[in-house]
A and B are shown apart, each in its own frame.
Chain A
Amino acid sequence: MDGSSPAPSRSGMGAALRQDSALKHCTGEARFLDDLPEPPGTLHAALALSPVAHGVLAPLDLAPARAVPGVVAALGPRDVPGRNDISPSGLAAEVLFAEGKVEHWGQPLAVIVATTRNAAIAGAAALRPSIEVLPPVLSVEEALEAKALLMPPQVIERGDWQAALAAAPVALEGEFHCGGQEHFYLEGQIALAIPGEDGDLTLHSSTQHPTEVQHIAARVLGDDYNRITVQCRRMGGGFGGKESNASWVAAVAALAARATGRPVKLRLARKADMAATGKRHPFLYRWRAGCDAEGRILALDATMAADGGHSLDLSGGVIFRAVTHALNAYDVPALRVTGLACKTNTVSNTAFRGFGGPQGALLMEDVLFAAARATGRHVDVLRERNFAGGPNGDETPYGQALEGDLIRRVWAEAKQGAEWERRRAEVDAFNASHPTLRKGLGGFALAFGISFGITAMNQAGALVHVYTDGSIRLNHGGTEMGQGLFIKVAQVVAEVFGVEVERIRITGTSTAEVPNTAPTAASTGSDLNGWAAHSAASAIRGRMAEAAAALWGVAPEEVAFAEGQARAGNRSMEFGELAHHCWAQRISLSATGFYRTPDIHWDARSMRGHPFFYFSYGAALAEVLVDRLTGEYRVTRADLVQDCGRSLNPAIDRGQIEGAFIQGLGWLTCEELWWDAQGRLRTLGPSTYKIPGSREMPPVFNLRLLSGAPARANTIFRSKAVGEPPLLLATCVWNALRDATGAARLDLPATSERVLAAFAA
C-alpha cells in the first residue's frame, strides 16, 4: 500500500467516527487523572508561589509549613537531589524552585506535602518568604529599552531591502501590540507520582509530552531515564499548555514522592495554574514598508518582539515560527524580519496552539491595511495583489515554495460562499443609515507550515500487537487531549488490516511502550503517529500475508485484507483465524513502527532551508456588528474554508477547525491578561479572564473543507494536519473590526474598550 489510494470503509480512512471516548465523556465514566482511585497512603502537594514579581530571595524558612497539622514534608531548592533545572531545551538555566532571586509573581518557591490537599495549601500559605523587592520589567518596550533578550535575534533577510524601501513610491510604517493568551484547559495541571521498587517511579501526568516529563523528572531526581515511566491516557485539554509546563509539575510530584516514599498527587488549583504556568507570547510589532501606487508591497523591514517572560522555555521555537510566518500567504520581494525574545518579570511564556504562527501572521495584515489607506484601495484588493505565486514570487524568504494556486483557491471559495460583494454593499448601506451601530467585514488567507521547527523532533514510534483472536492493541507516542488523535490513528490501523475500528484497542500513552517520543504538538500528531502506526501494522500485515500466501499457494501480493477477512482469489479467511494460524506457524504478530518526516532541513545560521513538510491553507471571512457608543460588538457571521488534504476523519477535522477558530477569536477579542503595576496577574480565573462562551459563536458559522485537494506531499493517506492552522483564521475578525471602526491601529485583544477607543481615534 502506498498510502495514496485507500478504499472506502465504514471505519477506516475518511470515516466520520467519534472521538474515541465520546460516550464515556458524556456519562462521566471517562477517567481523568484526578478521577483515578488514589493508591493507599497518597499524599497531596501544594506549591508555595512568589508573592513578588522581582526580588532578592533569602533562603526560605520552611518550618512554618511543617508546623501546620497534616503537613508531612516541605521541600525547596536545597531538597532537590538532582538538578534544580527544568529547561526543556537544555539551552538555559531555568529553575524548578526559585533560589537567590524571584523573577515573576507566582514563581514556585517550594512544595508542601500533606495528608490532605487543604493541609498542603494551608502549609504553603503559612510560609513567609523574605524578598527584597526590585522593580519589575513588565512590558516588551521596557525590555527592549534595557536590551533584555533571552536569546540572540532571529533574522530572515531577502534582497536589498534597504534600497527597495528607499525606492518604493509609497512609504508605510506601523506599530501595534497583540496580547498573550491563557490556555484555560478545563482540566488544570496535575500529576500523580507512585514510587515502586528500587527507586522506580510511575508518573501519571496530564501531558502532551510524556518523554519530556520523564527527562525533567529524571534530571530533578538525578535518575537514569529508565527508572521513570510516564503514562497519560487523556488530558482535559492541552493546547500547548501541557507541552513543557506539565513536565515541571510532574517533576514536583516525583520529587515529593521520592522524599516521602509515598504516592503524591499535585493538582494545581485554577488560580495557581494561571499564576505559575506559561501562556501565549504577547508581541510588539514595529515595521516599515514600501509599496507602489497599486498597493503591491515591495519592501519590508519588521521587528517582532515577543514577551518571553522570565526564562527561555520554548521561546526560540515560537520566534522561529513567528518569523517564518511573517509573510503568511503573501510575497514581499525584499525584506528583513527580526524576531526577538524579550525578557520580562512575568511567567515564562510557552507553546500555545499556533506557536508564534498566529502572531507572525498578524504582521502582513497590518501592512496591508496601511497600504490600503495610503493607496486608497480596498484591503481585499491588495490582499489578492500580494498573494504569493501567480504573478508574484512563490518562494518564502527562507527558500521554500508556497502553492499559490491553493492560496487563491481557498480565498476565492471563501469569498464566493460568503457572497462577499453583495454583503459589502449591504454593510455600506446599513452604516450610512444607522445612528449608533456599525457593521464591518474582514477577510484573511493563510499558509501554515507543518512540521516541528526542530528537525530532530519530526519522528514518531508505534507499537502494534495482533492477538490470536484477531483483536488488535495499538499504542503510539501521541497523546490524546480531545483532538481525536487516538481515533484517527486507529482508523489508519483499521485501514491497513482491513478491519473495523472496534477491533482495535486504543491504549494510553506510555514511555514504557514507545520511547523517545516527540510532544504531541505542532499539529503533527496524526501525521507522525499515523505513519508510525501504519509502518507497524504494515509489517505485521506483511507477515500475515506471507503466511496466508504459503497456505494458499499464492504470491503474498495477491493477499488482500478487507472487511475483516484476508482474501486471495476465491480463498478467504477471517482475520482472527489467520492471526491464530500465524501463531501456530510461529510468526510474530507484534511490531514497532517508526517514522521520520522526509525532505526537511534547516540552517539556523543562514535562516534558510526547507523546514516544513508541507503547508496547510485556509481562508476566512467575518462580519461584525459594533456599537459605536459603547464598543460592544458581536461577530454575526463567519465563513471558513480549510484545507485538510484528504481528511482522515471529517467529523474530527470539523471539530478542530470550529474549536480552533473560536479559540483564536477569544485570543483576539475578549481574552485579556492584565497585570498590575507590581506585576501581579489579576485575571486569574474564569471570573476575570473571559474565554468565549456559546454566544460568541457566530450565529451564522459556515465551514467548508477544501475538496478534491489531496496533499501533494506523501502524508498519511494524503491528509493534512488540522490542529493549529484554523486558529489563525480568526484573524478575519480583527480585520472586520478595523473595517467597522476605520481605525488605523487596533491593538489586540480588541476588547470593547479598545474598539470604543478606536472609534474615537
Chain B
Amino acid sequence: MAAMTGCITFLLNGEPRQLPAETPPGMTLLDWLRGPGGLTGTKEGCAEGDCGACTVVLEEAGGHRVPVNACLALLGQMHGRAIRTVEGLAGPDGPHPIQRAMAEGDATQCGFCTPGIVMSAWAQAREGGAAHEALAGNLCRCTGYRPILDVFAGLVDDGSPSPALPDVSGATFAAPGQVFHRPATLAEALALRAAHPQALLLAGGTDLGLLVSEHRQQPAAILGLSGVAELQALSTAPERLVVGAGVTYGRLLKALEEVPELASLAGLLRRLGSRQIRGMGTLGGNLGTASPIGDALPPLLALGAEVVLGSARAGERRLPVAGFLTGYRQTVLAPDELILRIVIPRPPADAIFVCEKLSKRHDQDISTVSAAFLLRVAEGTVTEARLAFGGMAATAARAASAEAALTGAALGEESFSRAAEALAQDFAPLADWRGSAEYRRQGAAGLLQRLYWRVARPDLALEVQA
C-alpha cells in the first residue's frame, strides 16, 4: 500500500491550496468554496447538478477546460486538480472580456445563474462546439437565453494556459468520522476495495454525489477512483472501443466523434446530462449504479458490449453487459471487485445503428424512454435486429419479441408496426412523472416506426431538433 495519509491539495484560481487535515474529504467543493474558501460567487441553485449555478472549471493538462458542478464534486476528488471559479477570471485590467460581454449584452437579469454561465462560457471559448450543448447544464429563469446565446456566438479564447497541475500520488484523507481513499494505481485500488468492501465506490460522483449534496449524508468511507491511471485508458481499435471505467463521458464523446459508425451514440451522449455532468460522470459509474434509465445502457446492449471486472483475489472476468445487470440498481459486482473497462464492438459496416431518447426536455433530462437499434438489411429483408430499450422495465433490456417480429421480415412500414405491437409482450412499463405507461408504450413504438423511415427515407430529416 503506497497510499499515504495526507492533505487535499489543489490549485484554486492558479494558487496552490492545501486543506487542513480535519477538512471532511466528503464535503462538496461548493460548500467548501462558499464556506471555508470564502468565495461566494459560485452559487447553489439546486444541489443536484441540474441548474449549473455552481459551475466551476477544471483546468486540465494540455489546456483543456472542463466545466463541472461544484455541488456534486467532493473535495477528495479535487486532489491534484486545478479549479477556476468566477472570482478567478478577472485580470489586471478588471473583469474578463466574457464578464463584460455578458453584462453589456444584457445576458444577466437576476444574476444568480450568471457566475455559472460565465464559467461555462469561459470553457466554451476554449473547447468550442454547439452553444446549446455548452449551455445545457445552465438554467436561466429570467432572460429566455437569447442574450446569453448572443454572447456565446461571439466567444473568443483568451489564450491563457492551464497552470501546471500539482503532482499527486495515491493518498488517503482522514477527517473525524470520515475517510476518503484516493488510489493512484489499479493495484492500490483493488487492494483498498478488498480491504474496505463497505466503502462507497465513487467514480465521477454525478449520481452518488447527491447523497452528500442533496441528502446531506456523510459516508464514513469513500473509495474514489478518479485518480486511478489504468481506469483512464481509452482505445479505439478497428473492431472495438475499449473504454476504461474511469473515462469521463466528456472524453468518450470526443473519442466517438472520430468513429463515424457510432455517430448516433455520440449524439446520444451529447444529450446525456450536460457538459458539467459529462465532465465528471463515467460509463463505468453508469454501469455500476445500474439505473434502469441510464442512457448509455441500451446502446451497450444493442452493440453487444462486454464489461471487464477485476479483483485482487480472482483477477479479471469478462461478461456481457446484459449479464452484468441483474435488477433495479443491482449488478453481479462482487464486494472486492471493480469495473475495469467496457469493450464496445463497432457495428458492422452494413449495419444501421441508431440511438434514441424521449424526454420532457431535449437537453439535460433523464429519459422517459431510451432505445438503441442495430439493424441489418439485405435484399429488402431484415437480417438482424437488436433492439434495446431503457425506461421500459426495471433494467435496460432488449426487446426479444420485437426483435423476433422484425428478424426475417420484409423491409416495410408494416413489419415495423408489427414489431412495435410486439413490444407489448416485451415490456410492461411503469407510470411516473416522466410519462404514463401508455406514453412509454406508444413512444417506444413510435421510435421503432421512425427506424423504418430512417432506413426507407435516408434523404428526409426525421427529427424536430435540427
Contact = CB atoms under 8 A, between A and B. Distances in A.
A663 B136 CA distance: 17
Contacts of B254: none
B64 interface: no
Given A629-B449, A693-B361, A696-B361, A32 B135 contact: no
A378 B376 CA distance: 46
A18 B142 contact: no
A609 interface: no
A634 B362 CA distance: 9
B48 A686 contact: yes
B125 to A, nearest CB: 14
A236 interface: yes
A122 B464 contact: no
Interface in B354-400: 358, 360-366, 368
Interface string A111-150: 0000001100110000000000000000000000000000
Contacts, number: 270
B146 A701 contact: yes
A654 interface: yes
A118 B144 contact: no
A694 B148 contact: yes
A659 B464 contact: no
Nearest to B49: A687
B110 A237 contact: yes
A23 B433 contact: no
Contacts of B80: none
A618 interface: no
A620 interface: no
B67 to A, nearest CB: 14
A434 interface: yes
A87 B106 CA distance: 37
Which interface residue of B111, B360, B362, B364 has the most chain A CB atoms within 10 A? B111
A47 to B, nearest CB: 14
A752 to B, nearest CB: 7
A185 interface: yes
Interface string B35-66: 00001111111111111010000000000000
A24 interface: yes
B361 A187 contact: no
Nearest to A269: B47
Given A27-B86, A34-B40, A625-B464, A694 B131 contact: yes
A631 interface: yes
Contacts of A760: 442
Contact of A22 (B41, B85, B103, B464): B103
A78 interface: no
A495 to B, nearest CB: 21
A654 B150 CA distance: 14
Contact count band on B: 35 or more
Interface in B126-145: 131-132, 135-136, 138-145
Contacts of A654: 106
Contact of A435 (B139, B435, B460): B460
B50 A661 contact: no
Nearest to A273: B46
Contacts of A437: 461-462, 464
A720 to B, nearest CB: 19
A26 B464 contact: no
Contact of A23 (B50, B99, B450): B99
Nearest to A629: B446
Interface in B73-93: 85-87, 89-90
Given A186-B110, A695-B362, A237 B142 contact: yes
A539 to B, nearest CB: 32
Given A18-B103, A26-B108, A633-B464, A695 B144 contact: no
Interface stretch (A158-166, A476-484, A588-596): A476-484
Contact of A697 (B50, B95, B146): B146
A501 B145 CA distance: 27
Contacts of A122: 216
A630 interface: yes
Interface string A693-714: 1111101010000000000000
A658 B143 contact: yes
Given A26-B99, A683-B433, A629 B41 contact: no
A18 B104 contact: yes
Contacts of A30: 111
Interface string A675-693: 0000000110111101111
B100 interface: yes
B147 interface: yes
B407 interface: no
A186 B47 CA distance: 11
Interface in A658-672: 658-663, 670, 672
A118 to B, nearest CB: 5
Interface in A15-64: 18-19, 21-32, 34-35
Given A28-B87, A627-B463, A682-B432, A270 B47 contact: yes
B103 A25 contact: yes
Contact of A24 (B111, B360, B363): B111
A651 interface: yes
Which interface residue of B44, B118, B447 has the most chain A CB atoms within 10 A? B44
B425 interface: no
A616 B368 CA distance: 40
Nearest to B101: A26
A186 B41 contact: no
Nearest to B457: A435
B48 A28 contact: no
B112 A237 contact: yes
B256 interface: no
A185 B464 contact: no
Contacts of A625: 464
Nearest to A657: B144
Nearest to B137: A693
B214 interface: yes
Nearest to A186: B112
A270 B45 CA distance: 7
B70 to A, nearest CB: 13
B466 interface: yes
B51 A19 contact: no
Given A694-B136, A752-B360, A687 B50 contact: yes
B113 interface: yes
Contact of B466 (A18, A658, A699): A699
B451 to A, nearest CB: 10
A690 B360 contact: yes
A660 B144 CA distance: 7
B214 A269 contact: yes
Nearest to A665: B144
Contacts of A118: 216, 218
A19 B113 contact: no
A186 B132 contact: no
B464 A685 contact: no
A631 B443 contact: yes
A756 B462 contact: no
A626 B465 CA distance: 10
A633 B109 CA distance: 28
Given A19-B109, A482-B110, A662-B145, A693 B363 contact: yes
B450 A629 contact: yes
B48 A663 contact: no
Contacts of A23: 95, 99-100, 103
A601 interface: no
A481 B110 contact: yes
A235 B110 contact: yes
A632 B358 contact: yes
Contacts of A174: none
Which interface residue of B142, B146, B361, B432 has the most chain A CB atoms within 10 A? B142
The 3 A-B pairs at the shortest CB distance, nearest first, are namely A28-B41, A482-B110, A25-B111
23 contacts: A26-B98, A28-B39, A28-B85, A28-B115, A237-B112, A435-B453, A436-B453, A482-B109, A630-B443, A632-B362, A655-B147, A659-B143, A659-B144, A670-B361, A686-B48, A687-B50, A688-B434, A693-B132, A696-B361, A752-B358, A752-B360, A753-B368, A756-B442
